[in-house]
Amino acid sequence: MINIGFSGGGYWGSNLVRAALKVPDVKIVGIADPDPGARQRIASLVHGDINTHSRFDYLLSDKVDAVVIATPPAFHVEQAVAALKNGKHVFLEKPPAMNLPDLDRLLEAARGQTLLCDYILCYNELIRFAKGLMKEISFVPVITDLKWTNWGIVRHDVDAWWSVGPHPVSVLCFLFRQIEMGWCKRGNGYARAHLLADGASSLISATWHHPEKRRQVELVGINHSIFVDDVTRKLTVMKHDNMNGRISVPPIKYSEPLVNALSDFVKCVRSGEEPVTGPAMIEKVTRLMCNA
């Protein structure tokens, strides 16, 4: 049994607790949050004996094996480094760090411990299927287009690049071998970036100012194109055939990405393996984003 403590009981922290309750051999032993309402909300989700604390320090006790950090981004590095240096494994929400010195501190502290950043799309079955298919058909990219849009609350602690951007950037890093940053235009509520993914032109559009929720990955290749729509949970494949295209929609069994990510975390805590979105992925994504 792995004893897990949670730092942050807000909207996403509550989702993580709900997902963790579905992972075998996990016990939620504590929640740390300065908001009494958040602590009470998590305690009611767990339906068991759980310690609630206003201070993060409690989670560094011997009663806790691993810490899930779902606090605002300004607290990510300090809390993760403190937990790792106290021998805790860490499941960290994105962005793990927003500058290179903090990234280096985080990666150094993670030596000998399990560190996973919740780049959630890397645990999405549609994206995983696309990756396997790309290998199977020897996919050669020409253009990729990734859209992450929504009509939502404009945040003031981070801009759209650091709030939304880790999703499409991590997808590119998961699907392709070599990623290079080109340019990035960004404001508080929007970001548009151009990258090269294995030499292919890759455009990312991210905004809070759009009437439609879109989570789309379009991969146009020489002989095939792959279209992923996470909102409708649909993946479409087009095989290019002269002037026509043959379209297929393979059946893909959906499993909750958050549960998949937490299951990978628990597996790696036990085995010592590096998670799919462990330090190597954290470094790759964060360095690209810092270069924007």
Q: What is the pLDDT of residue 72?
A: 94
Q: What is the pLDDT of residue 208?
A: 86
Pairing state between β 209-221 and 200-207: unpaired
Q: In the predicted model, is pLDDT for residue 245 greater than 80?
A: no
pLDDT at 243: 63
The answer, yes or no, to whether residue 34 has pLDDT greater than 90, is: yes
- The torsion angles phi and psi of 98, rounded to 5 degrees, stand at -120, 10
Report which of 37, 36, 25, 28 is spatially closest to residue 5, judged by C-alpha positions: 28
The residues that bridge with 183 in the sheet, in sequence order, are 194
The domain defined by 122-255 folds into Dihydrodipicolinate Reductase; domain 2 (3.30.360)
pLDDT band at 98 (very low <50, low <70, confident <90, very high): very high
Q: Where are the domains of the chain?
A: 2-113, 122-255
Phi, psi of 234 (to 5 degrees): -135, 135
- pLDDT tens readout for residues 212-243: 899 999 999 999 999 999 999 999 999 987 66
* 2-113 CATH pick, 3.40.50.720, 3.90.1570.10, 3.50.50.60, 3.20.20.140: 3.40.50.720
